Structure 1
């Protein structure tokens, strides 16, 4: 597995110069963040991003993410034109040499937490999700925003979109995903691009919105509907693992050779549908990081891997979950495990 690191571009307080100093750091996971969902990513913008990363001795090895427009998820009449734009972006990425694309099919919101700086016993702080607190949040109020959320919606637009989703069942949303993939995957196959769907995070319904990528059964259904090996997953340990009912080893087996990208993150279960993120260490969270990496290696997974959300430690401030220090510690910890497995 190729050690990689998420970078949010020129505005990221974590610089490429600093990331390069993490031992064995090879890849950068990034995106072009100022292009609206549904628009084609210009080839020259992709090349510029790729070359900036290469100038720092690393490779742009994963795009995370190319957003899927809400009208595609809702199955609206303009989805075919939007899918054609997505196809064009895939072709441009392939032409620039980028062969792995992470995406998600979560309605409206990306990953969701109820606290951005919940204290841990060691004095650090980290992201937290509490189901009772989530029930008290009005997503239309603007009181909660997180990295990765599309903040371009005005309140009235957001209400209309959420109302539209409440008319969509999980079965319909899944059908819309299959419709999308049946038109995207042939292009991905022709271009040698691996599509890696990120699970719903958390993997259960929030704010009355449907969720469909939640565990092993959902993946088996997805692969049966679109059997191409280019139709793969991002194995996000922390997302799947936030639900204690998910068997992460079963998910690895269900995905087999379709694990195109790995997010390594640990969480500690704190109650029913509630959890807090921790260090990556097997000693701090509820997930067996060592066992999961061993299982991935035994299954022949060689895809890019990145330390996912980290704590804020040593007084660092910045983008919640995406500081430098703890993610660097996480990368070193993961490399230690992987080096031992290679022996």
Structure 2
């Protein structure tokens, strides 16, 4: 796996120098200052390449811009309203400009209204650090009693609705405002943070959209952009819903293996693929992550490796961001499955045999606690996560002690050999 690091640009508290010292070889970034639906110009793209390639002292960093995360799909496109056709046309132009700059992989998502959603951005864990948390009861308190979405209570069990009412009653006005800010933060690093009025306006625009309608809109988008991506040699990879279940009365359509199968089958192309996020998919207890890797292995273009710890076995339940090897996901088994796929691709002669990965999220520990970095993206916590993941990868790929594999060639089985 190619080890990369997410960077939000020059204002990121983690510098390019820090990334090189952490041992990453590539960078995952985006033009977060460009509004959704607007063309990414060659000049702005080239500027980001230069920023990534240069240390503070002006010397070469040795880092490359490996993955765009994200080239956002606008709400107009998801709703098929307003300027959605113009936004798709602009998306194609941006893709062309990125490809001309050397980019090959573009991550995006198709979550309506809110992208990743958490109720607490700095929840204290037993060792004294902090992490992001999604609490279903707090979210219900937001939905029913702060946003006051019509009919919201019917979307939760009686027990959750009752607990939400109790918590809302106990909250001060400042606590309610903080919860609302946490929930409506939007896409990390973007310029778009939403007020309650913005959220409700989007909900009104979506109306009572069904899963089938939203999926149709997604397929329509892919039918437009995937052929362009294939011509340009780009790999598009959709990030799963986070969390992977319906919120705010709107469906989410990229939460399970069945969801991915529907989309990847609908527009079958090497350019249409998956961002495999162990944290997002792992928040649902009914998702078998190793099985998902094995099912979609040829279409996995990008990896987010993080772990979550679930409070219960409820599909729509509470969870927090655990240490990378410490949550409910068997990260060793997942990495082993990915390594097997990389070896298969290499044997097949695929140029993209090495899949870019990044240590996704991380707990705030040590000096992170005073930095107030982008929520979920502390420097030391992610470096710790990368070190743990790198240790697993190194062990599994060790020439003498590592994973053994088998590949099939023309109906004959190659004898097991050691990964090198």
**Does TM, scored on the shorter chain, surpass 0.5?**
yes
1:58 maps to 63
The residue correspondences of 1:11-26 to structure 2 (distance < 5 A) are 11-23=11-23, 25-26=24-25
Equivalent position of 1:313 in the other structure: 365
- What's 1:131 paired with? 136
Query: Which sits farther off after the overlay, 79-88 or 142-151?
Result: 142-151
1:44 and 2:43 correspond? yes
Is 1:288 the counterpart of 2:330? The answer is yes
For structure 1, which segment, 59-68 or 297-306, has the greater mean C-alpha deviation from structure 2 after superposition? 297-306
RMSD, matched Cα: 1.6
Q: Report which structure shows greater RCO (CA 8 Å, sep ≥6).
A: 1
Alpha-carbon contact 1:215-1:240 (below 8 Å) kept:
yes
Matched, 1:178 2:216: no
Shift of 1:150: 5.5
Give the C-alpha shift of residue 269 in structure 1: 1.1
Instruction: Tell me what 2:320 maps to.
Output: 276
Q: Does 1:143 align with 2:143?
A: no
Equivalent residue number for residue 347 of structure 2: none
Q: Is the helix fraction higher in 1 or 2?
A: 2
Specify the SS of the correspondent of 1:217: helix
The answer to which of 147-156 and 43-52 deviates more is 147-156
Distance 1:206 1:73 in 2: 16
Report the counterpart of residue 299 of structure 1 in structure 2.
341
In 2, Cα distance between the equivalents of 1:39 and 1:46? 13
Aligned residues: 340
Instruction: Determine if contact 1:219/1:254 at 8 Å carries over to the other structure.
Output: no
The equivalent of 1:336 in structure 2 is 391
Q: Quick one: which of 362, 380, 383 aligns to 1:325?
A: 380
Answer yes or no: is the 8 Å Cα contact 2:294–2:337 preserved in 1: no
Pair 1:227-2:263 in alignment: no
**Shift of the alpha carbon at 1:82?**
1.2
Query: 1:310–1:152: structure 2 CA closer, same or farther, 3 Å change rule?
Result: closer
Deviates more, 1:189-198 or 1:68-77: 68-77
* Counterparts in 2 of 1:129 and 1:157: CA distance versus 1, 3 Å: closer
**Gap regions ≥5 residues in structure 2:** 55-60, 148-176, 343-352, 399-420
Q: Is the Cα–Cα contact under 8 Å of residues 7 and 29 in structure 1 kept in the other structure?
A: yes
Q: 1:152–1:126: structure 2 CA closer, same or farther, 3 Å change rule?
A: closer
Structure 1: how far apart are the matches of 2:81 and 2:278?
Answer: 32
TM-score (norm 1): 0.95
3-state SS of paired residue (1:116): strand
Q: SS state of the match for residue 227, structure 2? A: helix
TM (norm. structure 2) is 0.78
Which has the higher Rg, Structure 1 or Structure 2? 2
Structure 1 stretch displaced more, 309-318 or 90-99: 309-318
In structure 2, relative to structure 1, the CA distance for the partners of 1:156 and 1:326 (3 Å cut) is closer
Task: State the Cα distance separating 1:166 from its structure 2 match.
Answer: 3.4
Shift of 1:78: 3.2
Task: For residues 141-182 of structure 1, give each alpha carbon's deviation from its aligned partner in whole angstroms, at most 9, with x where no partner exists.
Answer: 743343526535555443221122232111100000000000
**1:78-103 Cα distance to aligned partner (Å, 9 max, x none):** 32221110000000000000110000
Aligned to 1:244: 285
Structure 2: how far apart are the matches of 1:197 and 1:341?
27
Secondary structure, aligned partner of 1:13 = coil
How far residue 338 of structure 1 moved from its aligned partner, in angstroms, is 1.3
